């Protein structure tokens, strides 16, 4: 069950990551440094959110491993 939670959370974060990157328009990035910086922060936020969930859940899974 723990492994399933980690896998589903990873898939969800990966989807959010690629959905955010796929929505970028190169013309907007070249004309707006603030937009590019905001997109970069969004990617970092997704990785941090992923780590906040995956690391504790994985540790709990290791503690209760049969």
| pLDDT value at residue 40 | 66
Q: What is the pLDDT of residues 12-62, one digit of tens each?
A: 877 776 666 555 555 555 555 555 556 666 777 778 888 888 888 888 887
Distance CA 66, CA 64 (A): 6
| pLDDT value at residue 19 | 67
């Amino acid at each position: 069950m723990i492994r399933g939670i980690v896998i589903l959370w990873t898939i969800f974060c990966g989807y959010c990551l690629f959905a955010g990157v796929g929505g970028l328009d190169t013309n907007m990035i070249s004309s707006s440094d603030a937009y590019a910086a905001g997109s970069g922060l969004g990617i970092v936020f997704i990785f941090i959110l992923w780590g906040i969930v995956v690391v504790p859940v994985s540790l709990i899974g290791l503690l209760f491993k049969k």
